[in-house]
A and B are shown apart, each in its own frame.
Chain A
Amino acid sequence: MKRYQELPIGGVIPGGATPHLVQTGGWRSGKKPLFNEKLCVNCLLCWAHCPEATIMVERLQMRGFNYDHCKGCGICSQVCPTGAIIMVEETKNEPTPSAAKASEEVCV
């Protein structure tokens, strides 16, 4: 831990974005996002809007979520234009059939 004399003033953190340094996944209570690869058009709006380092992207392709950082805020599912991201209970691992169906309808 640094002494006050060693810190940049004003709480400034040089080097830009820092959410990957903080494990905010522990804050999540209630729902988590799930990703339907078939509906995704890789617009990456979820990546742009996510306040944490949750959206995993490789070569401009959406690859899912890093739940160590996800606070469960649901912004990604709100901004997703195709319904590829839905919020589900923590215990579920796949979209429910009805949710998937609803997503497909949105996609059409």
Chain B
Amino acid sequence: MRVATEQQLSLLTGAEAAAHAMRQINPDVVPVYPITPQTPIIETFAQFVADGLCDTEIINVESEHSAMSAAVGASCAGARVMTATSSQGLALMLEIVYIAAAMRCPIVIAIGSRALSGPINIHCDHSDSMMARDAGCVQLFAENAQEAYDLMIIAQRLAEDHRVLVPVMVMQDGFTITHSAEPVALLPDEVVKDFVGEYEPLYPLLDVDHPTTQGPFVLPDYYFELKRQQVDALDAARTVWLELQERFAEISGRRYQGFFEAYKLSDAEYVLVVLSSTAGTAKVTIDRLRRKGIKVGLVKPWVFRPFPAQEIAQALAGKRAVAVLDRAISLGSWGPLYLEISAALGRYLPKKPALYNYIYGLGGRDTPPELLASVVTDMQNEVDPTVLRYLGLRE
């Protein structure tokens, strides 16, 4: 195994970091359609291809529906396939994302998280990826550009493992991460190539000596069984994810321990649970509050699908109160992350911490440390946990 002996820090946006991962992975086919704030991912990658740094076939299609359709076709043919999208693009793509998952196509999809219309908005929230949470894909959330880069590389290997073979979505927050430059440690090209290896498709259509029928009409006598196989695929993704983070730590020195980052969690009485870039704000907030003697910690899930219910429940056992921050809302219900954690606590913990849900940051609304600190104050004041609360909303 090749290991990075030294890694140079480059000043990169999250989008550029994801594009570098794609360049190093060198997929066979990338069908893609531009959409803010994902566009700089494919724009940067297309430049790499034009400069001859990788030999991917980019297919410029007429919509995201076509992008994912082309991706499924190429993947069934036996190609290594990646694409990227955001918001409405994912919404348009989604019909075929379900099919990609059911046809077990290991397509890696980079997502620049953006609010779904309407009203139309181009800024970050997680309504796009949460809309796709039941599609049968692995969903990984990156806090910053470094994680976006690392997770893209891990995602490729994870998707293509024969125990898994489902699409993997890698989310980075639109603009906050996609368009913000920060130091990123890139692995040497040959280390990434060695890590991801060659894709070995199970049933490539181009293998004409072994013909297969793919995507057949399936009636009530087999549909249920094929959906049950997808359950196994996502269960296997848990095992493979844990194996890969060991391998990734060996080559990079960066360790993604478990399914979520636990920041100052062990002695914490109060816990914030939040995905993606807001976890960075939460760490700053936690450091400030701890200087005042308030014991606060953070759970930042990297993996949302498959949801690490038991692991998160165990991490929250014995805590006084937990606030789940959701950057999406299941209208008519509560936040999707809260619903998962509420179910997890109900399933695994006989004695549960007080559990709160806050909706924050919809449509790119800023969430500064003061707002996160107010959540901890609410928990200290034991406010009513049966009320859904909103952060930074004028009400």
**Residues of A bordering B, CB below 8 Å:** 1-4, 7-18
Contact = CB atoms under 8 A, between A and B. Distances in A.
Contact of B226 (A10, A14, A16, A17): A10
Contact of B212 (A2, A3, A16): A16
A12 B212 CA distance: 7
Contacts of A16: 211-213
A8 B165 CA distance: 12
Nearest to A18: B213
* Dominant SS among interface residues on chain A: loop
Interface string B215-248: 1101001101110110011000000000000000
B104 interface: yes
A3 B202 CA distance: 20
A17 B214 CA distance: 10
Given A9-B104, A9-B165, A3 B225 contact: yes
A95 to B, nearest CB: 33
Contacts, number: 57
Contact of A4 (B203, B216, B229): B229
B44 to A, nearest CB: 32
A67 B232 CA distance: 41
Contacts of A7: 222, 225-226, 229
B152 interface: no
A10 B213 contact: no
B292 interface: no
A50 B102 CA distance: 27
Using C-beta atoms within 8 Å of the partner chain, give the interface range for chain B.
20 to 34
Contact of A13 (B202, B213, B229): B213
Nearest to A17: B213
Given A4-B226, A11-B216, A13-B214, 7 more contacts: A1-B221, A4-B228, A4-B229, A10-B102, A10-B203, A11-B218, A11-B222
A11 B228 CA distance: 12
Contacts of A10: 102-104, 165, 203, 214, 226, 229
A13 B216 contact: yes
B225 A4 contact: yes
A11 B165 contact: no
A9 B213 contact: no
A14 B203 contact: yes
Nearest to B101: A10
A73 to B, nearest CB: 15
A8 B226 CA distance: 9
24 contacts: A3-B225, A4-B225, A4-B232, A7-B222, A9-B229, A10-B102, A10-B103, A10-B104, A10-B165, A10-B226, A10-B229, A11-B102, A11-B215, A11-B226, A12-B203, A12-B212, A12-B213, A13-B213, A15-B211, A16-B211, A16-B213, A17-B213, A18-B213, A18-B216
